[in-house]
Structure formats: structure tokens, C-alpha cells
Amino acid sequence: MHADPGVDVRRNAGVDVTDVRLPHSWLWVRLADVLAEPLVNGQASHGSADGFPVLKLTALTEAGVDFTQVSEDDRPRGWCAPLLAGEGDFLVARSSGSGNRIGRGALARNVPGPVAVPGTMTRVRVSPEVLAPGFLEPVWASAVVRHQLEKAAGSASRKSLNHRSLEAIRLPVPPVEEQHRIAAVLGGRLDRLDRGGEVLRAAFARLPALRAAARRATTPGGDPLLGDVPPGWRLGKISDVVCRIEAGTSLPNEARPARSGEWGVIKTSAMTRGVFRDTEHKAVRSDATVNPGKAIKPNDVLVCRANSRDYVGTAVLVTGCRPQLLLSDKSLRLEPKPGVDRRWLVHLLTSPYVREQIARRSRGCLDSMQNITQRDLLEIPIPVPPPGEQERLGRMAQNWITGADRLSEQIQTATARAARLRQGLVDAACAGRLVPQEPGERALTQALLRLLSAEPARGGPPAQSPRRRKKARAALSPAMTTSAVQLEFEL
């Protein structure tokens, strides 16, 4: 089945329901119209080492509810009886500090045992003869519903959704038989996307090991401290390959980056991400005295003198740099001796062996602020290869690191494309463009028409007054209202 010409919700995430035209047999309905029982909010968990399991907000994922994401509650087990998550329940994040997480929903499948809904979630139970829970899940993730949720959550820093705003969310609903077919086809395609995503995540998780192997290759096997080095190598110190260390200075600065023509001073974050980032700097105040000799140049070897235990002593090679950028008081510039390969030196300084030696020699009262002195840095024992081997190892390590960086970019690009494809499939499914309509499926189900005529099944929401029903229908798209009236006459 194809939708009438209208707004393509895949390309306009901010589209409103009144802008979307649905297929002839579909209808916009409020969530309140399809509830089997009233919405239920969970309760905040009371921490306990061995109590009743309560879901965490992180349990709501694209693949459904992750029942391994639980905390424990120390109250008697009876408190949670009305708040259990059951098979086919739809759980919605009603309160969250994150705008991306608020309103997120997931379907409970294969519930392993009793588990309670937390205070940050609302439990939704719909009438399956009208709205299949398996179809509600993709509809809830569609752009048109997401747009309504974002508007309902408001602009406060701590966003929340109440029952009234959730019940007012309007959903595009086809006949229930078509809902099941759409959910089956969409589920198969999303499963393939999920399997591809698992491969991408596994590859991304292996990148640190690849980078570590590249840096480890700059040191030989065995223990250099015991003189276990290959023939032609020798055991020395960093002072044997560095002729001079230059420290930066502390300068008064502004809480903003430097503009064109202004001096800037680097932040520690310019040296702690594996590559030099000249965008990580602050503007030096105009009344400060600047020493141009402290300016950073291409091919400089920089070391972060002071930082947390994980980042103190990290080294980078400057491949490019904006003009008028200065060393800071937390940075050191190392000048290699003639004949020493700079790439080898940088990768040696970032190798696991040297990183361990730096950690042993760093000092500080807090793990968040450790310091390595110039003297301690120069005294670190290292295996020193002959000059030709230095160049080979430096080139090899750099090639491996570059390859890992390119692979990282490709994985991130593929992950972003997969996310766009997922959203496109969901939006197409929820606009009637994913599966063809079966013969004889032009009419809405009798159950849906009965419900919209204020004759809900037992346990559903209370019937609306004729005046409220008239106002509710007027709020729908004019095209949908006309279609619904015609279908009622046909039936």
C-alpha cells in the first residue's frame, strides 16, 4: 500500500501529525483511545545489596527491554505487585535529565521473572485487538511521534512526561492484521541491522588493542630493565635520545579560544587524545607578556607534564598547528638528539612499557592531578635501537596507528548510516510504505471503529461524551476524518 502524497517524515523529523497523510485504511488515534488499562508510573528504587529487582532507565534500548539492567530494592516484596513489568508491556521513559532519552519506549519480551518498573518509567498496556504491541514499538520510535514527545516534554532542564501528555500522543494505526505484517517485516530488517551493528561495535572495541600493539612494537620483547634487548640494541635512558626539554609558562588567559591574530595557549586536552589538537586552546589576555620562543611548531614532540594518572606523560607529534599558539605550564617540548627518529620517539613514549614507568615516577596528592618532573622523565630506562631500526619502527607504528584511525572513521560513518537507515525504515513502516496491502484490507477493524465510537472493551478508558468525541475528531487531519466517516458507511 502506498500513502497519499504528503510530507516525507523520514526527511523531516519535526513534522506534525496534521502534515502527514496516511493510507486510506489508516487512522490517527490517541494513545488514550487504545489503552487496555490506565497508565501506571513506577516507584523509585530503595538501594539494597540483595532485594527485589527494579529496572534501570538504561534498560530501554532499541532492541527492547534489557532485563539485565536492574537495581535492587530493600522493601518487602508486596510493594511491587501493582508495578510489575509483564510480557507485552510497553515501557516509556517519563523522566530523564537527557533530552535524547525522555519519551524513549521499549517492548517487554521474554520477561525472565518478576521485575518492577522504576519511578522514571510509565507502564503502557494497550488493547491488542486494536493495537498490536509489536507495532506500537516502531510507531513510538517514528519521527512523527518523537516530535510530539519532545514538544510534550517541554524545554525545562529536567524533562518529564505526565499521563495527560502521554495519553494525548497521536499514533498512525492501520488494521490490526496489517500491523502484524508490518511488525514482522520491519523486525526482520531491523534484526539484520542489529547484527551488523554488533559487528561494528566489536570492531570498534578492538581498535585500542591495535593501537597498543603498534606502540608496543617500538620496544622489543623481554624485560628491558634486565638488559634483555635484541642484538644491535642497547639499554639506555630517555636522556640518551633527548638533548633538551623546554617547559611552557603560565599565562593569564580568557575562557574562550583565541581569534585570528591573537595568541593562544594550549590546554592539556590538546595532547591527550593520541594526536595533537590545535583547537584545544585558550586566548592569552592582551595585557600578558608573550615569549614568541614558546610558540609551537610542526614536528615538535610534546609531553603533557601534569594531568590525571591516566594522562600524565602522554606524548604527541605536532603535524600541523595554527600560528601564535604557545606551550602551557603543563606541557613540555622534547628536542631529540641528531639522528633520533621523532615518530619512533613519540610512539616509544606512548608504549605500554614507558607509560608504566611514567606512572611509577609521577607524584601528586590526587589521582586527578599527577606530575612528572623533567628529571624523572629523562631517567626512565629505555631500549634504544640503532638509527635505521628507529626509522623502520617509527614508520611501521605510524602506519598502524593511521590505519586504526581510518578504520575508526569508517566504523563511525557506517554506524551513523545504519542509524539513519533504521529511522528511515521505521518511518516508512509507520506511514504505510513498507509492505503492500492485502486484498480486502481496506477497512479498519471492527474493534477499532467500536473503540472510536466510545464503546471500549472492558478495562479500557472511560467513554467520551458526544461533544468530546466531536472535538477529538475535529482535531484529526481533515483527510483522515473524511476517510473514517466513509469507512463507517461502507461497514
Whether 6 and 20 have beta carbons less than 8 Å apart is answered as yes
Do 450 and 491 meet the contact criterion of CB atoms below 8 Å apart? no
**Across residues 197-211, what is the average pLDDT?**
93
* Number of residues that this document lists for the chain: 491
CATH code of the domain covering residue 483:
3.90.220.20
* Domain annotation covers residue 284: yes
What does the alpha-carbon distance between residue 193 and residue 136 come to, in Å, rounded to a whole number? Answer: 20
Asked if residue 445 belongs to a domain, the reply is yes
The pLDDT of residue 74 is above 90: no
Residue 187 confidence class, pLDDT cut points 50, 70, 90? very high
Instruction: Please report whether residue 357 resides in a domain.
Output: yes
Q: What is the mean pLDDT of residues 34-50?
A: 83
User: 173 with 241, same domain?
Assistant: no
Do 192 and 260 reside in the same domain of the chain?
no
Count of domains observed in the chain? 2
Closest Cα partner for 246 from 281, 285, 297, 283? 297
> 124 and 38 in one domain?
yes
Report the chain's mean pLDDT, rounded to a whole number: 84
Does residue 211 lie within any of the structural domains? no
pLDDT exceeds 50 at position 471: no
**Residue 264 and residue 350 in one domain:** yes
Residue 319 has pLDDT above 80, yes or no: yes
Is residue 327 located within the same domain as residue 230? yes
Last residue of a domain, one of 339, 362, 384: 384
In a domain, 207, yes or no: no
Confidence of residue 48 (pLDDT cuts 50, 70, 90): low
Residue at 24 is within a domain: yes
Do 236 and 335 reside in the same domain of the chain?
A: yes
Query: What's the CA gap between 311 and 358, in Å, rounded?
Result: 10
Q: Which of 365, 384, 403 is the last residue before a domain boundary? A: 384
Q: What percent of the chain has pLDDT over 90?
A: 63
pLDDT score recorded for residue 470? 43
Sheet strand arrangement including 242-247: 242-247, 331-336, 301-304, 315-317
Mean pLDDT of the region 72-77? 75
pLDDT value at 69 more than 90 = yes
Q: Which of 384, 404, 432 is the last residue of a domain?
A: 384
pLDDT digits (tens, 9 = 90+) for 248-259: 999 999 999 999
Both 424 and 306 in one domain: the answer is no
DSSP states of 178-219: HHHHHHHHHHHHHHHHHHHHHHHHHHHHHHHHHHHHHHHTTS
Domain limits for position 433: 17-196+417-490
Question: Is the pLDDT reported for residue 13 higher than 50?
Answer: no
Q: 357 and 270 in one domain?
A: yes
Task: Read off the pLDDT of each residue in 27-45 and give the average, rounded to a whole number.
Answer: 91
Average pLDDT over residues 269-292: 94
Is there a single domain that holds both residue 341 and residue 235? Answer: yes
Under a CB-based contact definition with an 8 Å cutoff, are residues 72 and 49 in contact? yes
Average pLDDT over residues 130-148: 94
Q: How confident is the model at residue 224 (pLDDT cuts 50, 70, 90)?
A: low
Phi, psi angles (nearest 5°) of residue 186: -65, -40
**pTM of the predicted model as reported, rounded to 2 decimal places:** 0.71
> Which of 10-14, 21-25, 81-85 reaches the highest mean pLDDT?
81-85
Q: Which residues are CB-contacts of 169 (< 8 A; sequence separation ≥ 6)?
A: 30, 31, 145, 148, 149, 152
Q: How confident is the model at residue 468 (pLDDT cuts 50, 70, 90)?
A: very low
Which is more confidently placed, 235 or 122?
A: 122
Same domain, 376 and 479: no
Whether residues 155 and 108 fall in one domain: yes
431 and 327, same structural domain? no
